[in-house]
């Protein structure tokens, strides 16, 4: 089966119409790995003799193994905080060598490479320092850069904790960029503690692409080109060698593809819209939680009022009962008074008569 047949099979056949859907849902929502550029690196290795590779910023080691598969004898994987998955992958391949150091310091400790792949800290200061060292000490090397397009092309990103001095960093924020407006936002491309972004884009010494442009500004022997897909793969070649001239020509269908550029723009627009929708959903969920908490609080207040009302009702019933008992006593007393009043009047009359007869004051 040739490559075209494999692609057709992946996209689906009459017998398997859901193959493309399965392939689509097996991918992460945001494609970001350098492994997606395999066919680009295949072209590179076809036109360049590459025995030694230095890779700065390593994911799982899968792309590191790709360089070895394509012909590299030694691949130095510079990753200061390697994951267990990366360690295991490197241990399985004798061509891969783990370097637990930060860049650009690690560069001077390694053999000169034929290919440098820069995919570490995506900011001006780091990339500029890495590239300056390579141009001085490995002028014949090919340099590949990831993330040369949005969001890091003209805006620094700082992995945390950052080792850069304060004068090497722009004012930064936990918020992130979005393609839907020019400001950063909490619903944008955020690091959630892993990285921060420069608060503003553009200007001097800001972003990966700006660092590359400044480093080669006065070097007429360099040619820089970009594959406009998956955040952008940049390639820095020599303009004065036949191999690199042919390589530039072989890469032209990718680097000059308006289709790839349009699809990348659409991809980041859709993804940042998803981020915004997720933030909106989270906000609505928070509002719903607040409403539920408010309803629970009101319910507690109503229950408390009901308890207070019941206590008042019982107290009122007791007071009414007591008042009724007192009223009954008063009624009985009044009735007694009514019965005795005539007798008292008669007694008073008899007493008066007796006193008058006796010559008293009533005479």
| Owner of token pair 């032209």 | 252
Q: Which domain holds residue 92?
A: 31-156+199-256
Longest distance between any two alpha carbons in the chain, whole Å:
163
> Residue 13's pLDDT is what?
83
- In the chain (363 residues long), the average pLDDT of successive 10-residue segments reads 73 86 88 95 97 95 96 97 94 96 95 98 97 97 98 97 94 96 94 95 98 95 96 95 95 98 97 93 81 86 90 90 88 81 73 72 50
> Residue 10's pLDDT is what?
76
Q: Is residue 50 part of a domain?
A: yes
> Residue 360's pLDDT is what?
56
Pairwise CA distance, residues 235 & 116, whole Å: 10
Pairwise CA distance, residues 305 & 299, whole Å: 10
* β-pair partners for 196: 158
> Residue 363's pLDDT is what?
46
Q: Is residue 62 part of a domain?
A: yes
Q: Is residue 14 part of a domain?
A: no
Buried b / exposed e over 218-238, threshold 16 CB at 10 Å, is eeeebbbbbbbbbbbbbbbbb
CATH of the domain at 113: 3.40.50.150
Q: Provide the token pair at 221.
A: 């022997």
For the sheet with 172-173, list strands across it: 157-159, 195-198, 172-173
C-alpha separations of 116 from 12, 13, 56 in Å: 37, 40, 8
| Owner of token pair 């490197």 | 90
Q: Provide the token pair at 315.
A: 């107290």
Query: Number of folded domains in the chain?
Result: 1
Q: Is residue 116 part of a domain?
A: yes
> Residue 356's pLDDT is what?
77
> Residue 275's pLDDT is what?
94
Contact 95, 73 (CB under 8 A): yes
Cβ neighbour number for residue 245 with a 10 Å cutoff:
15
Q: Is residue 2 part of a domain?
A: no
Q: Compute CA 17 distance to the chain's CA centroid, rounded to the nearest angstrom.
A: 35
Q: Is residue 176 part of a domain?
A: no
Q: Provide the token pair at 53.
A: 């590779």
Phi, psi angle pair for 147, to nearest 5°: 65, 45
Q: Is residue 342 part of a domain?
A: no
Q: Is residue 125 part of a domain?
A: yes
């Amino acid at each position: 089966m040739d490559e075209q047949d494999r692609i057709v099979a992946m996209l689906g056949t009459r017998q398997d119409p859901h193959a493309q859907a399965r392939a689509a849902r097996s991918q992460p929502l945001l494609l970001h790995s350098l492994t997606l550029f395999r066919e680009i690196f295949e072209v590179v290795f076809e036109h360049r003799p590459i025995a030694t590779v230095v890779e700065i910023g390593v994911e799982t080691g899968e792309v590191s193994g790709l360089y070895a598969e394509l012909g590299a004898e030694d691949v130095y994987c510079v990753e200061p905080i390697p994951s267990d998955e990366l360690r295991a992958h490197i241990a399985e391949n004798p061509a891969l060598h783990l370097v637990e150091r930060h860049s650009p310091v690690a560069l001077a400790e390694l053999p000169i490479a034929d290919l440098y792949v820069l995919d570490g800290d995506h900011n001006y200061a780091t990339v500029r320092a890495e590239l300056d060292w390579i141009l001085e000490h490995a002028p014949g090397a090919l340099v590949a850069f990831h993330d040369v397009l949005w969001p890091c092309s003209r805006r620094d990103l700082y992995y945390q904790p950052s080792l850069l001095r304060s004068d090497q960093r722009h004012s930064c924020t936990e918020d992130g960029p979005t393609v839907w407006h020019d400001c950063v936002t909490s619903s944008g491309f955020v690091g959630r503690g892993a990285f921060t972004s420069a608060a503003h884009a553009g200007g001097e010494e800001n972003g990966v692409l700006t660092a590359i442009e400044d480093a080669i500004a006065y070097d007429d022997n360099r040619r820089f080109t970009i594959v406009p897909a998956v955040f952008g793969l940049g390639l820095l070649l020599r303009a004065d060698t036949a191999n690199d001239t042919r390589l530039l020509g072989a890469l032209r269908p990718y680097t000059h593809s308006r289709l790839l550029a349009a699809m990348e723009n659409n991809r980041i627009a859709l993804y940042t819209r998803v981020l915004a929708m997720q933030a909106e959903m989270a906000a609505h969920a928070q509002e719903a939680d607040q409403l539920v908490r408010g309803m629970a609080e009101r319910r507690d207040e109503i229950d408390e009022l009901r308890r207070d009302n019941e206590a008042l009702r019982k107290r009122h019933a007791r007071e009414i009962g007591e008042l009724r008992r007192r009223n009954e006593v008063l009624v009985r007393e009044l009735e007694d008074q009514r019965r005795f009043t005539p007798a008292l009047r008669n007694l008073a009359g008899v007493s008066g008569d007796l006193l008058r007869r006796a010559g008293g004051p009533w005479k």
